[in-house]
Structure 1
Amino acid sequence: MQLSPSLRRTVLAGAIALALPMAAVAQIKVGVTVASTGPAASLGIPERNTVSLLPAEVGGQKVEYIVLDDATDTTVAVRNMRKLITEDNVDVVIGTSVTPGSLAMVDVAGETKTPMVSVAANARIVEPVQGAREWVFKTPQNDQLMAAALADAMEKQGVKTLGFIGYNDAYGDGWLNVMEKAAEAKGIKMVVAERYSRTDTSVTGQVLKLTAANPDGILIAGSGTPVALPQGELKNRGYKGTIYQTHGAANNDVLRVCGKDCEGMVLPAGPLLVADQLPDDNPIKATALQYKERYEAKYGEGSINTFGGHMWDAGMLVEDAIPRALATGAKPGTPEFRAAMRDAIEKTTDLAVSQGVFNMAPDNHAGMDERARVMVKVVDGKWTYQPDL
């Protein structure tokens, strides 16, 4: 029987498709939800941008990244995660940008048995490692690690009394708790604590209470550009003490929005922020500069920030884990492969990334140590490494 020309073309196309190697099909799927709009957009945009720099093939398998925007909305973050898992059948989820959304996603990770790598900072996202948190990891440094660095710096700068103004959400709650403990350990007394919302347009009342107490130093516990609001108000009200920030302020957009009001502020940050100022023997310098060069080559000189670095590090965690997960024989897109990925991430050892060195363990799903922090001060409008703080 002779085949018609059109049928012959159909049969030939099918034969060619069958002959193509399996690696030509995207076999491993990574779901991503970040706050690329809303109050935390200055975090989510560089995180979203960084996804385009992550490897498209690992261990001989194509990797597909499916990126969604949750608009800094906790409900949307959870909805995005469920969509990525149930409709897109992803093998791992990265996100989201902020603590409240990440905390809400934890239960979904446990319920669906899907490994999750948060790019938000609060230690409660991964601690204690039990129940649903057995499926959750994170790349930013724990608040406790950074609070200890702040307390050391405050002690060196002669701070005896401390004021606090932080977000009125889980991020602020966490920082108030860890900073009180870190300060107390250094004999520093917290004399006043105020709160504000990420979307507030005025903090005059809170700042008047802070300046009335006149502490030696004041810590602003926020993230992204909203930290510029209390920073500017404190400067405009004539506060003369040292203003400290958390690593949530380690963002060039903060300098842009804050301008001269940022001058002199002190904060702990991941090494990426000042990578080119680090000594050559720093174990993070090479990987941090690699990310910086790739990001700025695509998005422009000076565009790098630490939030994008957290996404880069999440990508490196996933990339490092994939070969170990594949070695189990589990197939991508299956519950068995998701479990293998969870186990593989937990076995991450001595992985140098842009913000530190990961050593995960069954009781430690953050995996960072003191190498993941440096002290930084804004001098002449620029981030400057402060090795003596």
Structure 2
Amino acid sequence: MKYSKLVLAAAIGLATTASAWADIKVGVVLSGTGPAASLGIPEKRTVELFPKEIAGQKMDYIFMDDGSDPTAAVKATKKLIDEDKVDVVIGSSITPSSLAMVDVVGGAKVPNISLAAGRNIVFPVEGNRQWVFNTPQTTGLMASAIVKNLVQNKVKTVAFIGFDDAYGEDWWNNFSKDAKAAGIDIVANERYNRTATSVTGQVLHITAAKPQSVLIAASGTPAALPERALKQVGYKGQIYQTHGVANPDFLRVCGADCNGTILPVSPGVVAAQLPADSPIKQSAMKYAQAYEGAYGKNQLSQFSANAWDAGTLLEHAIPVALKKAQPSNLPEFRAALRDALEGLKNIAGADGIYSMSPTDHNGLDDRAVAMVQIENGTWKMQK
């Protein structure tokens, strides 16, 4: 009997230890190939820099490539949840894929940190969106920043051209609302596919409307297509892009055609140019030094910053979640992690300072916006 009790006690002790030291599994769905590869590749490289242990728990990162396709993103997410039994999902890279994933993660009650900027990924926080967070500045926040810049530059007419998908539509909804409120007339509204090789027809419609400025609501290297086409037909007005282009690949592809372009970006992209008293300077430089230390100079991007902040949020949320549940109890730990993410306040990252709430699963404000102009293949922060 005494021996049996000792064996039982030892077994309980081993089980407790195993529970306390169980791996935390992080599923990562990114666009490593396809039209959004220039987003997904730096995001993956960033996740590879994430800590291998948080709060004494070993971290296990499982990568899936969705090929920039929403259907593939859903399939990958289901596999990670059903077969790999992940505690949390990071991704995807683009708005259409992230929107497609919302019902999957919400239905399974698995917290999700999206790296896409669509405002409608996380707003309103109801139904399955209660399980979804995102790190980039939303389209709403960045659209507001662009409209403010247009007003400062006394622009009265603007044309819009964007992707013919959820990203372009989300930008249109937010930008057109803010532009109208500011008294700016949108004289053209055009769309094109991410895989398009020509936008000549759309550009001719835009130039015929004679706008003072043009906003291109696209992301990655495909966003260079309309800008180059506008320059080829001799358009002389001010061109704006979104933070969806803020990476070295876009600068390389667009080349001299993008000189003078204005756009809002993550403070992390221009970390070294931030003023010393910026509340984001220290956290942005931490990201910049880590990423450039691993991959070389002039490699910072909006997308690596977005991914970096997903890791930052997890580093702060996991210790809180562990006080309520252990990874060995999957449903309880997933719920505890969701609650911990929702409760984060004043967390400084590369993109900005996050303060989540039951009604806000993005948590960023105007401090997360840096307006830049492209000068000879570099981002020059505007004063």
Tell me the TM-score normalized by structure 2.
0.94
> Partner of 2:69 in structure 1?
73
- The answer for the alignment partner of 1:7 in structure 2 is none
Residue pairs, 1:271-290, within 5 angstroms: 271-290=267-286
Q: Does 1:363 align with 2:332?
A: no
Give, in whole Å, the separation in 2 of the partners of 1:353 and 1:47: 15
1:296 and 2:292 equivalent?
yes
- Residue equivalent to 2:308: 312
Q: Report how far residue 129 of structure 1 moved.
A: 0.6
In 1, are the aligned partners of 2:19 and 2:327 still within 8 Å (CA)?
A: no
8 Å CA contact retained: 1:330, 1:340 = no
Superposed displacement of residue 64, structure 1: 0.8
Preserved contact between residue 91 and residue 332 of structure 1 (Cα < 8 Å): no
Map of 1:94 onto structure 2 = 90
Say which is worse superposed, 329-338 or 40-49, in terms of deviation.
329-338
Q: Which residue of 1 aligns with 2:10?
A: none
Q: Decide whether the 8 Å contact of 1:347 with 1:360 is kept in 2.
A: yes
* 1:270 CA drift (Å): 1.0
Alignment of 1:81-230 (within 5 A): 81-230=77-226
TM-aligned CA deviation for residue 381 of structure 1: 2.3
Distance 2:243 2:69 in 1: 22
Distance 2:22 2:248 in 1: 35
The answer to whether the Cα contact below 8 Å between 1:26 and 1:64 also exists between their aligned partners in 2 is no
Conserved in 1, the CA contact under 8 Å of 2:269 and 2:305? no
CA separation in 2, counterparts of 1:310 and 1:36? 15
How far residue 214 of structure 1 moved from its aligned partner, in angstroms, is 1.0
Deviation (angstroms), 1:380: 2.5
Shift of 1:301: 1.5
Q: 1:87 is matched by which residue type in structure 2?
A: E
CA offset digits 1:182-217 (Å, max 9, x no partner): 111211100111000000000000001101111000
For the 8 Å contact 2:325–2:332, the answer to whether it is kept is no
Instruction: Give distance in 1, aligned partners of 2:234 and 2:297.
Output: 34
Q: 1:13 is matched with which residue? A: none
Task: Confirm or deny: 8 A CA contact 1:26 1:63 kept in the other structure.
Answer: no
Cα distance between partner residues in 2 of 1:222 and 1:26: 41
2:32 matched residue in structure 1: 36
Q: 2:260 aligns with which of 252, 255, 264?
A: 264
Amino acid paired to 2:74: V
* CA–CA separation in structure 1 for the residues paired with 2:366 and 2:61: 31
Counterpart residue number, 1:376: 372
Aligned partners of 1:252 and 1:305 also within 8 Å: yes
Aligned residue identity for 2:346: D
| CA distance in structure 2 between the aligned counterparts of 1:203 and 1:317, rounded to whole angstroms | 39
How many angstroms apart in 1 are the aligned matches of 2:173 and 2:63? 33
CA shift digits 1:327-365 (9 cap, x unpaired): 013434510000000000000100000010000000000
In structure 1, runs of 5+ residues without a counterpart are 1-17
CA shift, 1:158, in A, is 1.5
The 1:26/1:330 distance shift into structure 2, 3 A limit, reads closer
8 Å contact kept, 2:20–2:326: no
Please list every run of 5 or more consecutive structure 2 residues that lacks an aligned counterpart in the other structure.
1-13
The CA distance in 2 between the partners of 1:91 and 1:208, in whole Å, is 50
Query: Do residues 343 (structure 1) and 351 (structure 2) align?
Result: no
- Separation in structure 2 between the aligned mates of residue 259 and residue 245 of structure 1, nearest angstrom: 14
Distance 1:281 1:23, change over 3 A: farther
Tell me the distance in 2 between the aligned counterparts of 1:280 and 1:83.
45
From 322, 326, 350, the equivalent of 2:322 is: 326
2:11 alignment partner in structure 1: none
- Whole-angstrom CA distance in 2 between matches of 1:343 and 1:24: 20
* Runs of 4+ displaced beyond 6 Å: none
Asked whether 1:354 is paired with 2:343, we answer no
- Tell me, yes or no, if the aligned pair for 1:271 and 1:288 is still in contact at 8 Å: yes
SS of the aligned residue for 1:280 comes to coil
Say whether 1:234 aligns with 2:252.
no
Q: Deviations over 1:57-113 (max 9, x none)?
A: 111111111111111011110111111111111100000000011001000111100
Contact 1:162 1:191 in 2 (8 A): yes
Contact 1:119 1:311 in 2 (8 A): yes
TM-score normalized with structure 1 length: 0.93
1:102, 1:118 within 8 Å by CA — same for their partners in 2?
yes
Residues paired across the two proteins, number:
371
Question: What is the CA distance between 1:278 and its match in structure 2?
Answer: 0.7
Structure 1 vs Structure 2 CA RMSD = 1.7
Secondary structure of the residue aligned to 2:362 is: coil
